[in-house]
Amino acid sequence: MDIIIAIIYIVLFIIMMVFVFSIGMIRHYMPKRELALVLVVAFLIGAIGGAFFLEPIYEELPSVMSTVEKNVPGNEETLYLDLSSSINMDELKDTLSKTEGFVSFKETSITIPLWKLNDKEIEYFNYVLGNIDSHFKHYNVTKDGKLQIELEENYSSYDALKSFSDWYKLVYGGSISYAQVHAELVVSSSSVESFQQKLLDYGVVPSKMDGPVQNSINNTNSSMLPNYQFVLITGVVGVIVAVLGIYYDSFGVFSRRFKRFVREKRKR
């Protein structure tokens, strides 16, 4: 939301509260039984003003907090990527590394979907994976037929997939039709949007993001009230303003008496 629009919304809500205060002040010219009506009207005006003018600003709080974190020097975000093996990884790396704010790009693991495995097949793959490639030291085989293989440092997904694909063709006589490459992209917090756009050009949306910006968004969202509670609170604010208007004269009298008391104390 534009800051000018936000200021206008706040000013409009204040004007509504001034109106509520005025209603409270003219309460003395109404029958006593009208007090409940004044408070109900004040609540409705506060709730409506909150819903129309303050709630849109309230919803922008996570975005505002993330903007603050983006501008803190040295802050970095980690984008977790699930990439199709058909993507030209070298080209993607080159594009990302040339973008301002780039810190690092690392392929962490691959997932190869097969078929639903029985216990015997799971046992077989757990035995054979370590023998296919000496770099396959950490891997997991699930019942739904997914082979998850962690990549060692400086060992590319291309080499890992080629090793498995060659073995698979030799044993099963077929080829792997699809595989997923998991990677971590670390960038400057101020450049996150630029990298998200670069990734979108390749049809990639980060599955998760971690860092000061994302943490601030998560923390703000978790601490925020539901919209209906926020609107109810602004309604209560309207009632409080109306009460201040109703008892404004009493406050004025008390204030004058208090000042007189203080002056007399000083004279003594």
Residue 27 has pLDDT above 80, yes or no: no
Give the range among 27-36, 54-63, 115-124 with minimum mean pLDDT: 27-36
- CA 63, 67, 69, 75 dihedral sign is positive
Q: 25 vs 46, which has greater pLDDT?
A: 46
Whether 164 and 88 have beta carbons less than 8 Å apart is answered as: no
Residue 80 has pLDDT above 90, yes or no: yes
Confidence of residue 258 (pLDDT cuts 50, 70, 90): low
What average pLDDT score do residues 206-214 get? 85
Those residues whose C-beta lies under 8 Å from the C-beta of residue 138, and which sit 6 or more positions away, are: 149, 150
The predicted structure's pLDDT at residue 60? 83
- Bridge-based pairing of strands 180-188 and 76-84 is antiparallel
Burial class (CB in 10 A: 0-12, 13-18, 19+), 238: buried
Q: Work out the percent of the chain whose per-residue pLDDT is above 90.
A: 17
Residue 143 has pLDDT above 90, yes or no: no
- How many residues does this entry show for the chain? 268
Residue 160 has pLDDT above 70, yes or no: yes
The predicted structure's pLDDT at residue 259? 61
Predicted model pTM: 0.69
Residue 253 has pLDDT above 70, yes or no: no
Q: Give the chain's mean pLDDT.
A: 83
Q: Work out the percent of the chain whose per-residue pLDDT is above 70.
A: 89
| DSSP H or E segment with residue 157 | helix 157-172
The predicted structure's pLDDT at residue 1? 61
Calculate the alpha carbon distances from 105 to 80, 92, 116, 195, 207 in Å.
10, 10, 32, 12, 15
Would residue 173 be called left, alpha or beta, if left means φ above 0 and alpha means ψ between -120 and 50 degrees? left
- Strand partners for 183: 81, 107
Confidence of residue 220 (pLDDT cuts 50, 70, 90): confident
Residue 231 has pLDDT above 90, yes or no: yes
Residue 49 has pLDDT above 80, yes or no: yes
Residue 52 has pLDDT above 70, yes or no: yes
Would residue 101 be called left, alpha or beta, if left means φ above 0 and alpha means ψ between -120 and 50 degrees? left
Q: What is the rounded CA–CA span in Å between residue 62 and residue 171?
A: 53
The predicted structure's pLDDT at residue 15? 93
Residue 10 has pLDDT above 70, yes or no: yes
Residue 234 has pLDDT above 90, yes or no: yes
Residue 232 has pLDDT above 80, yes or no: yes
User: Helix, strand, or coil here: 179?
Assistant: coil
Residue 137 has pLDDT above 80, yes or no: no
What average pLDDT score do residues 18-23 get? 88
